[in-house]
Amino acid sequence: MEQTETKQPEERRPYDVIVIGAGAAGMMAAGTAAHAGKRVLLLEKMEKSGRKVRITGKGRCNVTNARPAEEFAQQVRTNAEFFAPAFAAFNNKATIRFFERQGVKLDVERGERVFPHSGKAWDIANALLEYCVENGVKILYETRVTGILTLGDRIFGVRYINKRGFERKEECRQAIVATGGVSYPATGSTGDGYAFAADLGHTIEPLRPSLTPLVSSHPQIKYMHGLLLRNVKAVLYIDNEPVREEFGEIGFSERGIEGAVALRVSRDAVDALIEQRRVKLVLDLKPALTAEMLRERIARERAEMGKTDFFGELLRKLVPKGLVMPLAQELDIHSKNYLSKVTDAEIDRLIRTLKSMTFPITDYAPFEYAVTTAGGVRCDEVNPHTMESLKVQGLYFAGEVLDLDANTGGYNLQIAFSTGRLAGMLKK
């Protein structure tokens, strides 16, 4: 009888790269490495990729910001110089080209913010996923990394628990940590990468919420939930010294004072509160008018109104409806007072309040409501031209796990794309 040759099982080849975290930075890194011909494994502990991307920008996804490079750099709040090489290698224009080549049409809106034309953040997340798949990245979901393995001072593998609960180990030459921060933890950002980095000798700068709502002790704020104020000037004071001024929209909710203006000043406010300093936010509700111009406008409004009109009706001509009652209570003038009985001193108080309504800031919303995380892996322990660790060969970092954060407006996602792209290029 003819003997058949027994086929020996093929020896499994180690991965060139294992990327930990399938968020914006991780998918960009994995797809980039695979596109360059690397054998890539992408590990994600959640059941799908891009969980945070899919909800960012209130579900619309502010992909990047189209401002010129110099203006863009001014919006990076921490370690802007470190970020510069990554941005130079893959800037906002490159990001726009990347997504359009992936079939996502983009629009540039007010403030140079870039959004998908569809208004759907899912299009961005799916484009990143397709980039990985079409370049041959192997993706394992519901897979929790438990450690990064080293031999001497270099990477040789990753240990993880798969979706069936079994511990496994995969060897690799390089590992990219793109696990995000600790903001929106329900999306899987629970700080795993900080633990991996610390275990391998990296320093972690203290973590705190950034771009987060601010909590005020103002007695009327509970009546202002749902109120949105446009074209407002806000000045943040720390220990009675003005430290930051912003202009735009501000909103109020059960989470606190939010909206673009509040989020932009929140980084300074959070740091000051941690240091137990006095913080307040002063709003100019009529920044286009001087106090004298406002006085003249109020005089004209009063002249056109009848003696039996109420004070609340005057306020309604000056501020949105939702602010009438809180403002009347702030001034201690009943909204049903006859306008004819309102004194000049009370009008002076109204003008001062419209120009400087003051909200003592006593706390900030937790990580669950923060857009991004401040703090993270110290940037001076990472090569800015490659994103490789200066402590462990073959270890790379990308995205929010680094001590990099910026203002709201598309800047933080660009940080993820730029650092992810650079890490995925694996120059060594």
Which of 8-12, 64-68, 77-81 bottoms out in mean pLDDT, i.e. has the lowest?
8-12
* DSSP string of 336-353, one letter each residue: TSBGGG--HHHHHHHHHH
Q: Is the model more confident about 232 or about 14?
A: 232
Strand partners, 221: none
CA distance 256 to 222: 9
Residue 5: pLDDT band with limits 50, 70, 90:
very low
CA distance 334 to 66: 48
Position 8 scores a pLDDT of 45
- Note whether 156 and 172 are within 8 A (CB): yes
Kindly list the distances between the CA atom of residue 106 and the CA atoms of 72, 100, 101, 123, 207, in Å, as whole numbers in the listed order: 19, 7, 11, 10, 33
* DSSP string of 1-54, one letter each residue: -PPPPPPPPPPPPPEEEEEE--SHHHHHHHHHHHHTT--EEEE-SSSSS-TTGG
Average pLDDT in the 25-47 region?
Answer: 97
Environment class of 343 (CB within 10 Å of its CB; exposed 0-12, middle 13-18, buried 19+): exposed
Residue 4 has pLDDT above 50, yes or no: no
For the chain, the average pLDDT equals: 94
- Note whether 174 and 426 are within 8 A (CB): yes
pLDDT tens-digit series, residues 293-322: 999 999 999 888 877 789 999 999 999 999
Question: Which residues lie below 8 Å from residue 222, measured CB to CB, with a gap of 6+?
Answer: none
- Note whether 35 and 27 are within 8 A (CB): no
Q: Tell me the pairing of strands 40-43 and 138-140.
A: parallel
